[in-house]
Amino acid sequence: MDFQIIEEEKFKYVEQGEGEVILLLHGLFGALSNFSVLIEHFSEKYKVVIPMLPLYELPREEISVLALKDFIVDFVNFKQLDNLNLVGNSLGGHISLLFCLHHSEKVKSLTLTGSSGLYESALGDGFPRRGDYDYITKKTQEVFFDPDVASKALIDEVFSTVNDRKKAINVVLTAKSAIRQNMEAHLHKLTMPSLLIWGKEDKVTPAFVGEKFDDLLPNSELFMLKNCGHAPMMEHPQTFNRILEKFLQSL
């Protein structure tokens, strides 16, 4: 399913459905196809909104997780959104945590899946290896338990990004900023209902990271999915949607 990307002022976003808002924040490689099953399912009962993070538009000196959080604050204010059900994958989870820390009054619930913010394993040291398609294929496949989930379109997107010097530098700087912006000392302040959906075989934010989030967040529930890597909404979309829907209905 193709989703219309709306462009207004400095924002690009997808908006599907009507009702209570699910605000979905993507990670470093956040193609809309990663979330197609989720969007189609939840847009029947909710307004699903996905802002495109300006990962490649920010000036190099401004690149940080905090700057991305500020961008989401601007977007939420621009759209006049409230009572948010935040859903964040990977870097998007980290941005969600920072948003909740500074603007908890706008948040109804928080869902994290493979979130950074405590610990994340770099997929390679320093600057990504450019021009080697087989290497990029291998590294992209390692994100998943089932390597076949890494479609050619996704591999091509990652390959294109790391071979664009500006984009690749932005990815590295964003990842380093995420490591510096550790959230451990702040998680006790986030008292909203929180759902954690984690892949048991996640190599980027391993299972112990999900367990640590569960220990530190005051009002959380953890679901650990077997045979699943860093992107549960892609590898087990039906299970992910079922867990998330039950959580939202319980609020």
Evaluate whether residue 145 is within a structural domain. Answer: no
Which pLDDT does position 66 carry in this prediction?
A: 94
Which residues, other chains included, contact 138 with Cβ-Cβ below 8 Å and sequence gap of 6+?
none
Q: Where residue 162 falls among pLDDT bands split at 50, 70, 90?
A: confident
Burial 45-77 (b: 16+ CB within 10 A, else e): ebbbbbbbbbbeebeeeebbbeebbbbbeebbe
Please tell me the distance from the alpha carbon of residue 148 to that of residue 161, in angstroms, as a whole number.
20
User: Is 211 inside a domain boundary?
Assistant: yes
Q: Which of 56, 49, 47, 39 is nearest to 2 (CA)?
A: 39
129 lies in some domain = no
* pLDDT tens column, 27-64: 887 667 788 899 999 999 999 999 999 988 888 888 89
CATH number where 77 lies: 3.40.50.1820
The whole domain housing 194 covers 6-121+182-250
Instruction: Determine, yes or no, domain membership for 88.
Output: yes
For residue 130, tell me if it sits in a domain. Answer: no
| Residue 155 forms part of a structural domain | no
pLDDT band for 22, please (50, 70, 90 cuts).
very high
Selected residue with higher pLDDT from 62 and 250: 250
pLDDT average, residue stretch 158-163:
84
Query: In the chain, what percentage of residues exceed pLDDT 70?
Result: 95
Query: Smallest Cα–Cα separation from 174: which of 240, 108, 128?
Result: 128
Residue found under tokens 């290497």: 135
> How many separate domains does the chain show?
1
Quote the CA–CA distance of 215 and 154 in Å, as a whole number: 33
What is the mean predicted confidence (pLDDT) over 164-177?
85
Q: What is the pLDDT of residues 70-127, one digit of tens each?
A: 999 999 999 999 999 999 999 999 999 999 999 999 999 999 999 999 998 754 444 4
